[in-house]
Structure 1
Amino acid sequence: MTGADDRGIEHGLPADGPSPSALARERRENAADVLASTLETRDATAFVHAGRGREPSIRYCCESMPHGRTAVAYDGTTDEWLVRSADASDGHPAADLAATLADRGPEGTILTPPHVPHDAALYLENAGFEVASTEAIARARATKTTGECDRIAVAQRAASAGIRRAASVLADAAIVDGRLAVEDGNGDTVPLTPARLRIAIDEAIVGAGAFPAGNTAVNPETVSHPDTDADREALRPDESIVLAATPRGPSGYYGGLVRTLVVDSDGGRERRVHVAVTQSFRSARSLLTAGSASVHTVAADLEAEVRSFGLDDSDEVEATVSGVGLESCEGPIDGSDEIEPGAVVRLDVAARVDETSRLRIADVVVVTDEGERPDRLAAPAHSLSPAALLER
């Protein structure tokens, strides 16, 4: 099921938003706006990147998805994009592109991402250019176009379908000898293991038109790898079950959801931690409504809100904030990065319930203009109860 999950990227599957060419134009126009300003500020001639065609930064700049080694340039003197790929170049695509830029006449500085391959930088230098680094493409990717938001929403709906499918399985589960059990396809009662629940989530994700991409996890803190003893051990009704899904849509954009469910919760600390974590999301969205804020500020606000419900320094609380797009975790991601209007970010909060379990929730939100509350992309309720999640 996951072995073929790259075949639909930007071709071969039903559209999940604007056409691939329209989406590519949106991305290139956004990148060109950022690059043109950066080139002027830095008194540079062009921007060049090189790498494998599937690398997100390469794909972001290309009209169609290239394969193999690829070099892409934005010529600031002509406002033009140039692409060279291995199947259309006699030598290295970066060498071909460097020669093309040199033949055009402009001299001076070429800007590249900090992680551009060393050989590509040497080809540019050998062609007579000075090379300097820029984070311009990372900045361009940190805010999403309308088409990109549509593609992320598709993946997020698939993630929601997967989580809801897991909630349905849990809601229908029986308790046998203190463990959860379900009926298999033959009408027999079998233990409900993390492996069975993960398969159910993946099937729902595929049914919703996306790919699990090998990212689905049940109790990721304790079940780190499939087919381990923990993966095959039946789940308990009185313990929290963490469900994490990070599917990829057919155009290559990711979603990301985490929910924690308990079949037979007795309340107590578990309920208090749940209220604290869910309230932290409301607080962070209010913070982002007031204007742009840094990744560090939003993460600190999430953690502070959780701790305000009586969790002290000895309690483990973890809050992470990052962008979502062509990668499941991308900019804005560093603590000092500003979360600007147009950013799509994943808010992920976890807190310890007891020595053996944690409660964790993650959502994806679209940051809109100042004064407007960020939109939460398709997601099930934050309920602890599987049945309650399905009702909302």
Structure 2
Amino acid sequence: MSERPVVSSVPDSVFDTARATRMRDVLAERGATAFVHAGTLEDPTVRFALQAGSDSCLDDDALESPTRLQSGTVYAVGFDGERWHSVSKPPRDGGDHPSQILAELLLEDGTTDAGAMETCSRLLTPAHIPHDAALYLEGAGFELASSDALSRLRVRKTEPELAAIERAQLAARTGLERAMSLLERADFGIESASDTGEATLVLEDAPLTADRLERALEVGVLEAGGRPVSSRVVWPGANGGTNSPQTAALPAGGPLIITVESSDAGYHGRQTRTLVADPDGGPERRAHIGLTHGFRSVQSLLTAGEATVGTVEADLEAEIRAFGFDETAAIDVQVGGIGLERLERPLQAGSTIERRSPVVVDASLETDVGRIRIADVIVRAEDGERARWLSPASRSLVPNNG
């Protein structure tokens, strides 16, 4: 069992003075004693609360790559307006549930006493608090009220959080650049044509496969100090041949959609590129130009001022269609926040993209030769500063690290 003071002046803290003040205001507005939650490290809200109660969690990999024991550990965490409390219990360990101990701790700490329970017994919890934890808290005499305060608090990132996301983006870029390097060096294996008769890629006398590219992505992420989350290479007709898509030679002339996700200190990054080793021109180039132009428009829009998720998505789609793609063209755009979760607030069309709130911009367009797709992370800066893409890899359609 442990309790830690609110960290408001330590540079590496994710729970700065502004966040502490906002949480106090929420507690006061709702007439609540504390904000509490319970769960395992699989829950990003639990991870954030544990980071909030630590003065150096962003330098510690324990929450990002927990041991098997830590993964099964149940935590109960709470903020009473002055300090964070945390209680944990390893799996299969007997004794009281952490929520029971946390409830007792809040009472013993003087936050609430028996004489004040009737007027100050409310606890704010996320809607997804585990049922057993809620029962233990209610059994201690507390009234529970649902609140998304902590999720809303996470939308606008602190500088340490932004730095972690940018490091994750840099690791993703390094992975992409390593994969691009393989594609640049590859030869066209006419003699080892695919099932469809198309030329395929060969590198060092062996077929260049999706599996080799995905390994390169992950090695690049690791070399840059990140943690690989996922890597994927897809292309038109990948599942149509007799060989496994992972071990079949990649086509030389078709678009390869390469996506890499990485994390740093638990914060995610993601980039997607479409690459063609030997493009013919035509539809894939026009689609690629439309996408890259749309991404420039998004940057200008977020630099100009506030915009909602829906506004950015609509602007991006309109800019892409302006390159000669009518309403029948299959265009898919998605804008959403990124952080401790691969996709988090802001998500709804009417949600405003705040300053220091990084979002993933993901757009794709179907063409006669396959789908063309790009995804990057952008963050709105302070007034007067240009919105910034976080460590983007080259967006060239042809493999190019320049």
TM > 0.5 fold call: yes
Deviation at 1:343, TM superposition (A): 0.5
Give the distance between the partners of 1:254 and 1:57, measured in 2 at CA.
15
TM-score (norm 2): 0.83
SS at match of 2:151: helix
Corresponding position of 2:200: 179
Matches of 1:32 and 1:141 in 2, distance apart?
12
Residue 192 to residue 23, structure 1, CA distance change in 2 (3 Å): farther
Q: Which runs of 5+ in 1 are unaligned?
A: 1-20, 184-188
Question: Which residue of structure 2 aligns with residue 18 of structure 1?
Answer: none
Cα separation, 2, equivalents of 1:254 and 1:229? 29
Counterpart residue identity of residue 276, structure 1: G
The residue identity in structure 2 corresponding to 1:241 is L
Does 1:310 find its partner at 2:324? Answer: yes
- Aligned equivalents of 1:314 and 1:23: distance in 2? 51
1:23 Cα deviation after fit: 6.4
8 A Cα contact 1:89 1:96, kept in partner: no
Distance verdict in 2 for CA 1:122–1:229, change over 3 Å: same
C-alpha deviations, 1:194-248, integer Å up to 9, x for none? Answer: 11111111111111111212x1001178669xx9712222111211111100012
Which one-letter code corresponds to 1:206 in the other structure? L
Letter in 1 for 2:258: L
> Is 1:158 matched with 2:177?
no
Residue 325 of structure 1 deviates from its aligned partner by 1.4
Whichever residue aligns with residue 244 of structure 1, its letter is: T
Task: State whether structure 2 residue 61 is matched by structure 1 residue 74.
Answer: no
In the alignment, is the contact (CA less than 8 A) between 2:236 and 2:255 conserved in 1?
no
- In structure 2, the partner of 1:86 is 89
CA contact (8 A) 1:343 1:367 kept: yes
Q: 1:228 to 1:75 in 2, by over 3 A?
A: farther
Residue of structure 1 in register with 2:227 after alignment: 211
TM-score (norm 1): 0.85
| 1:23–1:196 Cα change, 3 Å | farther
1:84 alignment partner AA: V
Query: Percent identity between the aligned chains?
Result: 39
Matched with 2:196 is none
The answer on whether the counterparts of 2:228 and 2:262 sit within 8 Å (CA) in structure 1 is yes
Match of 2:387 among 370, 374, 385: 374
C-alpha change, 1:173 and 1:369, in structure 2 (3 Å) is same
> In 2, Cα distance between the equivalents of 1:335 and 1:89?
46
What's the offset of the Cα at 1:100? 2.1
Q: Secondary structure of the residue that 2:13 maps to in structure 1?
A: helix
> AA paired with 1:36?
R
CA–CA separation in structure 2 for the residues paired with 1:198 and 1:276: 27
Question: What is the alpha-carbon distance in structure 1 between the residues aligned to residue 213 and residue 302 of structure 2?
Answer: 35
Call closer, same or farther: CA 1:163–1:200 in 2, change over 3 Å: same
- Mapped to 1, the partners of 2:35 and 2:276 lie a distance apart of 52
Deviation, structure 1 residue 149: 1.0
Residue 154 to residue 348, structure 1, CA distance change in 2 (3 Å): same
Hey, what's the Cα distance between the residues in 2 that align with 1:23 and 1:360? 37
Contact 1:277 1:350 (C-alpha < 8 Å) held by counterparts: yes
- The alignment status of 1:259 with 2:273, answered yes or no, reads yes
Match of 1:35 in 2: 23
The whole-number CA distance in structure 1 between the counterparts of 2:371 and 2:140 is: 56
Shift of 1:139: 1.0
Give the Cα–Cα distance (whole angstroms) in 2 for the partners of residues 305 and 211 of structure 1.
34
> For residue 127 of structure 1, what is the aligned residue in structure 2?
140
Distance 1:221 1:252 in 2: 33
CA drift at 1:24: 5.9
Q: Describe the shift of the 1:222–1:113 C-alpha distance in structure 2 as closer, same or farther (beyond 3 A).
A: farther
Task: Name the aligned partner's letter for residue 385 of structure 2.
Answer: E
356, 362, 376: which one pairs with 1:342? 356
> SS where residue 381 of structure 2 aligns?
coil
1:238 to 253, 256, 262: 253
The unaligned stretches of length 5 or more in structure 2 are: 1-8, 64-69, 191-198
* Superposition CA RMSD, Å: 2.3
Distance in structure 1 (CA, Å) of the matches to 2:38 and 2:395: 42
**Which string of whole-angstrom CA distances, capped at 9 and with x for unpartnered residues, describes residues 367-392 of structure 1?**
11244221111122211011xx322x
Q: Select between 161-170 and 370-379 the one with higher mean Cα deviation.
A: 370-379
